[in-house]
Amino acid sequence: MTNLAVFASGTGSNARCITDFFAQSDCARVRLVVSNKPDAPVLAMARERGIPALVVDRAYFYESERLLSVLAEHSIGFIVLAGFLWLVPTYLVRAYWRRMVNIHPALLPAYGGKGMYGLRVHEAVKAAGERETGITIHYVNERYDEGDIIFQARCSVLPADTPTDIARRVQALEHEHYPRVLERLICSTPADNAVA
Ligand code: GRF
């Protein structure tokens, strides 16, 4: 069983999907939620499901490595970023190298980087006249949205779409794919991936 920690700053709709997806799994389970916002709705989601939650401030996250002890106490083997807006510090990237992933609401490397989050991403996609957008799931390194890409899925952008319309379509893709891609990454054995 791999214990997952989900890091989220916002509403946590992906965190909820992932938590519920793995609730009955015999391979992975969400055991900890970490947020940098004391009033983030994701914390209520954790409370409702009896999952321990930790709220971190900047000093805790960047100027100490105390988080590593908490992750160890909960035997966390894999970290899932789902709307966590802070850059991940080196000590954490190293400790969870190739065991920490993020989802971005666009087709990286386009429309990523510092400041590209939420509706801003979809506004930029719309302003550029893109006919297609999507999601990117990638490993986390020390730069925003630059880790190796694991998975992408696409959807169309229609001429009449508002950024909110685009956001809705992209979010549906996130909910559909993020839990399943995690399952593939965490739960499949090399034999599952072998070519028959
Ligand atoms: C998602 O769009 C994800 O791609 C981005 O942050 C958003 C989180 O949304 N990294 P939610 O809080 O899970 O609804």
Distance 81 CA to ligand 1 centre (A): 9
State how many domains the chain has.
1
Residue 95 lies inside a defined structural domain of this protein: yes
Residue 196 lies inside a defined structural domain of this protein: no
Residue 194 lies inside a defined structural domain of this protein: no
Residue 13 lies inside a defined structural domain of this protein: yes
According to the model, what pLDDT value does residue 194 have?
62
Residue 195 lies inside a defined structural domain of this protein: no
According to the model, what pLDDT value does residue 40 have?
96
According to the model, what pLDDT value does residue 193 have?
59
Closest-CA residue, ligand 1 atom 12, reads 12
Distance 160 CA to ligand 1 centre (A): 23
- DSSP-derived letter for residue 102 is E
Residue 91 lies inside a defined structural domain of this protein: yes
Q: Using most ligand atoms within 8 A of CB, pick from 16, 170, 174 the residue to mutate for ligand 1.
A: 174
Q: Is the beta carbon of 179 within 6 A of some atom in ligand 1? A: no
Distance in angstroms (rounded) separating the CA atoms of residues 125 and 195:
37
Provide φ and ψ at 126, rounded to 5°.
Answer: -65, -45
Closest-CA residue, ligand 1 atom 5, reads 83
Q: Is the beta carbon of 13 within 6 A of some atom in ligand 1? A: yes
Q: What percent of the chain has pLDDT over 70?
A: 96
Distance 83 CA to ligand 1 centre (A): 4
Provide mean pLDDT across the span 50-68.
98
Q: How many CB atoms lie within 10 A of CB 44?
A: 12
According to the model, what pLDDT value does residue 43 have?
97
According to the model, what pLDDT value does residue 195 have?
60
The answer on pLDDT for 191 being more than 70 is no
Are 92 and 68 in contact by the 8 Å Cβ rule? The answer is yes
The 10s digit of each residue's pLDDT in 127-180 is: 999 999 999 999 999 999 999 999 999 999 999 999 999 999 999 999 999 999
Catalytic residue status for 104: yes
Distance in angstroms (rounded) separating the CA atoms of residues 101 and 147:
9
The 10s digit of each residue's pLDDT in 68-105 is: 999 999 999 999 999 999 999 999 999 999 999 999 99
Q: Is the beta carbon of 105 within 6 A of some atom in ligand 1? A: yes
According to the model, what pLDDT value does residue 192 have?
64
Residue 90 lies inside a defined structural domain of this protein: yes
Distance 8 CA to ligand 1 centre (A): 8
- DSSP-derived letter for residue 171 is H
Q: What is the mean pLDDT of the chain?
A: 96
Residue 158 lies inside a defined structural domain of this protein: yes
| CATH code of the domain in which 124 resides | 3.40.50.170
- The pairing of beta strand 76-81 with beta strand 100-104: parallel
The answer on pLDDT for 110 being more than 70 is yes
Q: Range of 141's domain? A: 2-189
Least reliable range by pLDDT among 11-15, 75-79, 188-192? 188-192
Distance 26 CA to ligand 1 centre (A): 26
Closest by CA position to 29, among listed 62, 3, 63: 3
Q: Is the beta carbon of 147 within 6 A of some atom in ligand 1? A: no
According to the model, what pLDDT value does residue 189 have?
74
- Nearest ligand 1 atom to alpha carbon 135: 4
